[in-house]
Amino acid sequence: MPSASWDDVGRGYRVYRELPVWGGPRQLPNNQGLLSRELIRDIKARGAKAAAEVEAVLTRLTQEGVLPDGPSALEQRHVDALGKVRLGRDTLASLWEAIVFDRDAYACRYCGRTPAALFQAEGRRRALALVVDHFRARATHAEGRRLDNSLTACVSCRAIKADLPRDPFLDELRSLADAVAARRAREGQTRGEAAG
């Protein structure tokens, strides 16, 4: 369910963008799974900048009537109008992320994980990186901003999915989850036998 207001969308995006995420070659943890303090500061600063741009553009586009009064009234015609507004490429990409992530409650539509839940579960060491994915592969750039073809995915699911159709991907995801669970069970048995 989308936020009640565009201000809430902006605040939610700020919270997400300021979480420490692992992603990209410059954002890898050390052997203990920790990001450096310097990298965390950098992630927060870049996230705050992107979020501030999104908050400003949401205010402007609402005032100009490009966006409806609230996120729940957003329709494809509003999204199409974004392509006619003068916005930087990075700002438009961040705005689209904020809209899609908010609509999907910042949860991966494949595995259900959220950045906030992983942040807590991982002892506040890292959060889950999200991306906008597509149900159907997009043939053109314009198809990248379709409400009916966009969804929130975590980078792990997106990497596994690649270009697989939805059903074979979900089969692969179930298979992977089963394999991880079976491995943990075997390792638990081995530890139990060694202790006994």
* CA dist 57 → 60, 90, 111 (Å): 5, 12, 31
Please indicate, yes or no, if residue 181 is contained in any of the structural domains.
Answer: no
Mean pLDDT along residues 33-52 = 86
Q: pLDDT exceeding 70 applies to what percent of the chain?
A: 88
Domain-located, residue 191 = no
Give the helix ranges, DSSP H, for the chain: 6-17, 37-63, 76-82, 89-103, 115-121, 155-161, 166-195
Tokens coding 123: 């002892």
Confidence grade of residue 41 (pLDDT, cut at 50, 70, 90):
confident
Which range, of 33-47, 107-121, 166-180, averages the lowest pLDDT?
33-47
The answer to whether position 190 is within a domain reads: no
Statement: residue 193 has pLDDT above 70: no
Residue 15 in this model has a pLDDT that exceeds 70:
yes
Confidence of residue 93 (pLDDT cuts 50, 70, 90): very high
> Would 168 be classed as within a structural domain?
no
In a domain, 175, yes or no: no
pLDDT value at residue 24:
58
pLDDT tens track for 120-148: 888 877 788 899 998 776 555 556 788 98
Domain that holds residue 149: 6-163
**Mapping DSSP to helix (H, G, I), strand (E, B) and coil, where does residue 141 land?**
helix
Mean confidence (pLDDT) of the chain: 86
Residue 76 lies in a domain: yes
In the predicted structure, residue 76 carries a pLDDT above the cut 90: yes
- What pTM was computed for the model? 0.84
Look at residue 192 and tell me whether its pLDDT is greater than 80. no
Name the pLDDT band for 188 (thresholds 50, 70, 90): confident
Please identify which residue in the block is written with the tokens 């595995």. Answer: 111
Summarize pLDDT for 147-163 with one digit per residue, the tens. 988 999 998 888 888 87
More confident residue, 53 or 190: 53
Res 23: pLDDT: 63
Does residue 43 belong to any structural domain of this protein? yes
Task: Work out how many domains the chain is built from and give that number.
Answer: 1
Residue 87 in domain:
yes
